[in-house]
Amino acid sequence: MSVAASSLAAARGAGRTLDYLLERPRTVLATLVGAQIAATLALALRVEHNGWVYFQGGDQIWFTSTGWLLGRLEVASTVASYMWPLVQAPVTLLTGPTYVQALPALVVLNVLVLGPIGLLCVYGIAARIGGRLLGYWAALLWVIAPYAAIPLFVERYREKWTEQFLPQATGLTAMADYPSMVVVVAAAFFVTRSLSPGRVADAALAGLLLGAAGGLKPPNLLLGFGAALAYPLARRWREAATFGATVAAGLLMLAFWKQRTLGTIPAFALEEARLAAGATPLAVDIDFDKYIQLDVDHWRLQMDELREFFWSPRLAQWAPFAGLLAVLRVRRAPIAGLLAGWLGAFIVVKGFNENADIQANTFWRLLMPAWPAYLLLFASIPLLVPTLFRRLGARRAPPADDPVRARWVAIALVLTVLLPAAATAASSPITPPTPAIVPVTASAEMLTPVDTGIALTTERVGKGTRLSWKDGPWRANVFYRVYRSTRPDGDLQCETRNSVAGACTFHGEPIGTTRNREFVDANPPSGATYRIGVGTNWADDPELGDIFVFSPSVRPSR
């Protein structure tokens, strides 16, 4: 057989295989979902961890504490948004007030529920660009890209990528970043659906999902810049208005939450102004500098660090531009606008921010909600191959689907707006004896629960005081930090902040760290108050990590 004949036979066989796969999307996608779950489990077993605890940024304590309080219909002064605590509220009522206890349920939710949803949404967006075949390709990249990137980093940086970033990028933590990424890509998926005629309900659902994403973390609302480009390019004005209205409902819910927990909306500062000619008595000052730091020098430094640690920074930098050209080439301008606005807004707002640092390994986490946009653009690059899109023929057609039914929009409205609003309105500010405290030594004033299940007792031992306690069980190895306060009125200072929600700051000095459940204070001052803090971290190192729960305070009897 000649080479030409062999090539022709191989091409026909490949075509039949593709057609076979294109006719069975459920089988292909189920296989990819299974591969994604298996890859996550393999990562979970391989990387350093301590029980269920993997590397986390610290905010997980705040989110879970807020969720536990919300389950008790209580609120404290907190900068955490409402949606992730709301999800955790019923979990903590069953498991306990700490993220360590809630981790198994949260990881299962991330890996078995949110992960497959993210994959299906990536497939759905890509299929609307270049058909099911491109959808399969994008979904495959979604599964393998985090691991395929490992050898592209220099060896000295790989530990940061695998041990510190990948657990967060695959849902093995209690942080809000992974749910944020999935809800953002779900909102983007329904935006693409609503670019077709007669899809007002899809636009409504997209807006509600984006509002919920803002309820997870407000920067997720940056996806709206992409939607603001997509709808005019598609000339879908009714859908655009519906999307804006439902996003506004989420913004109102976020503002209500901020007002209840902080007494103000952080993005705005309302200041009384002096009456003057042409002036109004109330001035609204939008604090843009707090949220948008266009530090060009910082961005250049990050690109220098990318060159230092990554195999081909030019490929990483120019790939989205090539993908954007590919999407435009196949006449999907509205989706191109969505992806460009989505990715561009996150790069400008988060990538130029000094908190996003490749060396410190915060850059990737802060840009996680924009990762699907980058991946979709990267996956579209093969469409630049001359005549490929034309030769795909009917294979490039997007899959047929029906508009979203109104009942799903109603359910989403209840879950993302009405239920959070009802829970927030029904909650009362915490009052002493407070169920959560803020250590003054913790970074960012970490709201930490007080667990009455940690039974601390004291007894006199000569001139000293022996402390002993019972606690747990925990989902990891822990250490104990013993705190002592000599304040005459106890170790807490409680106040009502902004006349809205209460907060109690904890004033106690650490006097020792132990793995045992007892500690002797050899020289206790008169009137001392004691409290035990329980800590853990992925490395099981007492020198690392934050205290995730405190015991009630105890003052020994004289």
Going from the C-alpha of 245 to that of each of 238, 340, 415, the distances in angstroms are 11, 23, 17
d(CA 369, CA 236): 25
d(CA 264, CA 260): 8
**What is the pLDDT tens value at each position of the chain, 558 positions in all?**
565 555 555 555 555 777 777 788 899 999 999 999 999 999 999 999 999 999 988 789 999 999 999 999 998 888 889 999 999 999 999 999 999 999 999 999 999 999 999 999 999 999 999 989 999 999 999 999 999 999 999 999 999 999 999 999 999 999 999 999 999 999 999 999 999 998 999 999 999 999 999 999 999 999 999 999 999 999 999 999 999 999 999 999 999 999 888 877 766 544 433 333 344 443 444 454 555 777 789 999 999 999 999 998 899 999 999 999 999 999 899 999 999 999 999 999 999 999 999 999 999 999 999 999 999 999 999 999 887 777 777 777 788 888 999 999 999 999 999 999 999 999 988 877 778 888 876 555 788 999 999 999 999 888 889 999 999 889 899 999 999 998 888 888 887 665 566 778 898 899 999 999 999 998 898 889 999 999 999 999 998 878 999 999 998 876
Domains of the chain in sequence order: 18-47+98-429 (no CATH), 436-550 (2.60.40.10)
Question: What's this model's pTM, rounded to 2 decimal places?
Answer: 0.91
Preceding amide of 552 cis, omega within 30? no
d(CA 105, CA 101): 9
Crossing angle, helix 59-71 and helix 99-108, to 10 degrees? 90
| CA neighbor of 320 nearest in space, from 304, 309, 336 | 336
Annotate 406-418 with three-state secondary structure: HHHHHHHHHHHHH
